[in-house]
Structure 1
Amino acid sequence: MPCMPFRSRPNLRSRLAAHLPGMVDTTMERLASDVPFYQQLSRDQLENDIAEVIRLNLEMFRRLLREGRTPERIDLEAMLRSARVRAEEQIPLPAVLSAYYNGFRICWEETAALVDANDVDELIDIGSLVLRYLELVTTAVTEVYVETVTAMTGRDRAVRDQLLARLVVGEDSPEMWHGAGLVPWLHRTLVHLWVRAPRHPHEVTVTVEARRRARAVREALVELSGHEILDSLTPTGGLMVLRGSISASDVRRALGSVLPGRWHAGLAHAEGAEATVSAVTAAKDCAEVAHRLRLATGVHQMAELALEVQVTRPGAARDVLADLLRPLDDQPDLLNTLTAYVAASGRRAETAEALHVHPNTLDYRLRRIHKLTGIDATDPQGSHLARAGLVVRRFLE
């Protein structure tokens, strides 16, 4: 928006405007020596890209100085295009902004030789214009930079989401990996996390907390594996793919360091695309079973949960097992007795002590269970059947 004409006489402005074009080389040299990031750039980058930005900036300010106004959006198009390029090149935003701030600082210092005692009022007006100019330019540059980075991040995320979607069905290819900016991983660790969503009366707080937790989980596993990860995390968990063969104990420590409360994860290893499909299923099944059976917080694998996973999968076998213990629905003492007896691996004295009953009472209850369900828990085969029935019952609760 145009501002009111400045009160200052044009003399200092004219001298400064005439002096600005010659400051490009001086400003570039000072930036290269004063700002650490620019010391890392090649001479070609400094003399082409950076010098062009400085030239555009000084030329723009020179014109505005003569016209006595602040810049409109259309005046900044060239600098905004440059900001988009810097964002695409992943030049840090502080380094981009430093070119503006330090550039004007250097120019301001160079104007000292142009100022005399009669220029005080005009110098104040020019200083005000400089500050307003920097405010408008750096705000616009920052907005464009952030928009570009956000768009790039979204594209990168979309490509990696597509890679993960193909990976879980065994259809990932080297081209997909390269398109996502990654080298194909032959050895993969599949981790499926199952965790309760954050609870809070305000939905915004829940959303923010879920994002923070997901970010913490990602960072912990990136640090553990030493590489980026692929993930489909939601507020209640999801699948994560790590490069290499990472042990369950290491994953347990990493997740435990950032996840408070109860959580369950399933873990499986795979070598190559074909093996990944079954590993994804195994990790998900282990996480679900551990969560629904309310097992101990931690990382679980198929080797420890093979029976539980097998008997809880939908099908005729699960339906039969679910029906086995229905006669105990209105017999809580008998159900608790069977649960304790199976947990104690059939040890009579230990079970009686846990239930605070006489061993003879335990025997009586076991006979009642046998009569009602047909399951003899004291028999090895009956014990296995009882355990499977209890697993299914708890899973379906």
Structure 2
Amino acid sequence: MRTAPTDEATKDDLHGRIARIRRSIPRMARATIDRYIAASPLYTQTAVPEHLHRESAHTVRSMLEVCLRSVTDESIDVSDTMRENIERGTERVAEGLPLREYMRCWQAGFDVLAEELERELGTDHGLFWFAFRRAHTTFDRILREVVSAYEIHTHDLIAAQDRNHAPIIDTLLRGDEWVFDDPNSIPAEPSIMLLHIDDTPAERSGDRNARSLAATRKVRAIRAHLARAVPGLWLIDVRPRHARIVMHPPIGALDLLAVDLARVSGAPVTIAIENATSITDLPRAGTTAAEVLDIAIRSGRTGTVSRMTDVALAHHFAHPSASLPVLLDRCASLRSRPDLVHTLRVYLASNLDRRATADTLTVHPNTVDNRLNRVRELTGLDVHITAELLTLAVAVSAATDESDAEADHPQ
């Protein structure tokens, strides 16, 4: 094996050439991804996941950087330097990417690096082979880390799939019995937590594969954060648009949980919690939590954790009763005007402050006045008269915006 150059001039020459190659790393990473796409049977030019040109290219750049640095720096900690990239790369496991395909991309990256080393150092065979061997030794160490992480994550994914609690939660919320292997694990007074999860931007764009990948990543991020942040989890079922968690009574405040979940997943999250007096009380608690969540969503409490105490008045307004149809009939003309319903909802949430309402809606205060006047013209109900305002509040609590787009673009 060629030993390290001892002549200072040769060392300086090697450092200078490696530095020139490192400046080409972005180009080399792009070439790697292009070469991988061309060689892989999984992709065509019209069905290339976005992550290949984003996360995967970043991982390749990191690998190239570490391999090149190791040529002139034996002290580099490969495991620590590449840990984040390798952990991120294990997301390919969740996509069902075979290990051989995953390794194909890594190998393409080193092939590009070897060609660049030969182009820069090929005139000095001794220097080239020294650099190549150093880089290849580092690459082998990276691959060992990659394979180990991939296999561990595969086992974890299989275990997580085996722990799918959806059927158990379905059974308990119906009030049916379920035989548990460990009866001592059952919370004496369980709590149920329901999540409404919006789409991430990536789920609303790109091709079907990209949207599916984005949804998978979101679910994994939410599930992982719940496991870390919520003590006493018992049963958990996370889907792209909703989640159900049955747990021991929460220890401490969960006020920031929705904010934290939105941060890690990239999607707005709304949460409702209801406590049950026993395992047999879960059907009642589940129904109440669903009602709380529905009201929280419609009343603009996205990004919060809501309990019945937080939405009791709105729940009372919207709860079915003999009087509710009568009150709703007085506001029937608002059904075709989701923009007015939305304005009323924001006006109430802003404590009847027209300027705060205008700021939230990003309109002029006069526009708010015009819409409230239009409400009066359509319904005969004036927001400045308490009894009539309460009638409108009932209608707003019971109504569902037809779409954000319609609400933001009045007729």
Structure 1 length as normaliser, TM-score?
0.49
Question: Which has more radius of gyration?
Answer: 1
TM-score normalised by L of structure 2: 0.47
